[in-house]
Amino acid sequence: MLRCVFLTAFLALMTKVATADKTFAIQATYLGDQCGGTPYAITVYEDENCTATACDSYDTFYGSRAINANMMTNDCSSNHTELLQIMRDKFGNSPYLLQTLHIDENCTEFSMAFGYPAMGACVGAYNESDGLYAIASLNTNSSASLKLFYERTCFANQQYMATFVSQEELSTHSCTIDWFRWYSSNDAKVSPASTRDNTGGTLSSGALAGIGLGGFGFAVVLVVAVIVRRRQAKSRALDKHDHFESSMTPTAVDSLEAVLRGQTGLWNDDIITAKRIPRDKVQTERLISRGSFGEVYVGSFNDHKVAVKMLLPAMRGKIQHVNDFLAEAKMTATMDHPHIVSFIGVAWDSLSDICVVLEYMDGGELRSLLDKFQKDKHPIGFTREKTTIALEVCHALTYLHSLSPPIIHRDLKSRNILLNSDMKAKLSDFGISRERLDITMTAGVGTSLWMAPEVMLGERYDDKADVFSFGVVLSELDVHTLPYARAKTENLDSKGNPIPDSILLQRVALGIVKVEFSDASPEAIVDLGRACTSVYPTERPTAAEALYKLQMILSRKKSSRTQSAESLN
């Protein structure tokens, strides 16, 4: 307990030191060829290389892309109060709604902020295929509302979600349950800074019709999604998906290609096009795995052995699956870590042969190795080799969670951990990973035996869900069996049969059933595994904390071996 308190205090101190000098960029975007009037979006994000810019074209910063943003300003500040004032000054006398995002339940550690023009107009989207549109309003009773829509017309039947900000939350700027603080133009008026160009106080007609948010502005319309319950989001998404797919036949590949080429979404995304490689240079040899939506082959590219991932034939004629496949390719392409499988490229001549080319891991899945250990009656417990595998996976997880915004893998399991011939581990399969633009999510996905209780129950979750899955993987490394294998044999139904997974997972969610660890493993690793698989997310360590503990365990192993060797000399 004392060690826990000390570690918590130490980490809190280090966090305070690390965040004390953070610099934030305050980015305001405008239509037209000037940076005057009311901005249609303001985004504040951490940028240690922030450079103040009075006014420049959006493309100067981010390159030409399929968005509607024209001009932008960039201010820099390391002071929370000052950056809020800059945001207020940008809006001037126009009504606005400001939202600040924090990384703790008391809202003491500032992370990001967003500003909306509160004119009751339909504004904002990343692009026509990926974005949401927003209507921010200040109500006569001093409350506020923010609504998100799928389409630029913002009709009621297109609504994705809505959030209400109470008069108390808005006037006192109190920390909400979602770790937000809210501000508005109804606060005590402050004179705009003299440096601001007050060329107008209203949005252009083009902005009122529906305008595009780019880059970090995409977070504006996503961050508030934390208050949407899982069923609402899933239901609306499925309704839209089904409506679109119903207009297409499953075999209408030519029509599908035409639809995709007409979109401004992932098909023409800068990262996807930059990573495109010639399809005729990619050869497939033999199938090595198949899932519900895709299959993986051993193949070759430019005479090098590679892994080639493709959609199942039945899935290639559906735009949703193709876009999901491209989204996974894009996410994998942005990863750069020694313990994440390397992305080589994406190739296609037509939708029927689109494929993603990845680094080939000749050691196969970790699950296959553990199955072999179990069959060969390999000794259970943690060896240095197993601990190193856990450490390498934790390195990858820490990297994902440290990105801005963090990435939640959401399907961490032994089958998604690949090994090379030297037993080096790498994380793979980002098919359902998501950028954590919000504090919590409710779209429960993943593989049930590795799934955190809060995800099973459809509750809000964050990157601690990955930590739970990592704890389950630690159990697999220890005892070699699939998760809860022993619990299934010990918990029988009235007929003496193993209980079904549905009942088992209910007991897992309640904390009645836990993953197994052996007496052969070091106490420190067992304690870490137990902490990672706590029913309560707040009691789990972060990936970084787990990494630190594994490093300490390995260093102690190395130290004890060195001392033993010296004693023999």
Residue the block writes with tokens 């107009």: 121
- Give the integer Cα–Cα distance in Å for 217 and 219: 5
- Quote the CA–CA distance of 122 and 381 in Å, as a whole number: 59
Q: CA-based angle 271:275:280, to the nearest 5?
A: 145
* Sequence letter at residue 177: I
Which H or E element spans position 343? strand 343-347
Distances (CA, A) of 492 to 448, 469, 504: 20, 25, 10
Question: In the annotation, is 463 catalytic?
Answer: no
CA distance 346 to 259: 19
Q: Is 558 exposed, middle or buried (0-12, 13-18, 19+ CB in 10 A)?
A: exposed
Distance CA 418, CA 427 (A): 6
User: 397, 391, 405, 449: which is closest to 427 by C-alpha?
Assistant: 397
Compute CA distances 343 → 312, 324, 405, 517, whole Å: 20, 16, 20, 35
* 517 close to 542: Cβ distance less than 8 angstroms: no
Task: Quote the tokens at residue 542.
Answer: 């972060």
Closest alpha carbon to 46 in 6, 5, 18 = 18
Task: Tell me which of 75, 178, 411, 429 is the catalytic residue.
Answer: 411
Q: Rounded to whole angstroms, what are the CA distances from 522 to 101, 381, 554? A: 40, 8, 11
Phi, psi dihedrals of residue 244, rounded to the nearest 5°: -70, -45
3-state secondary structure of 430: coil
Please identify every residue annotated as catalytic.
411
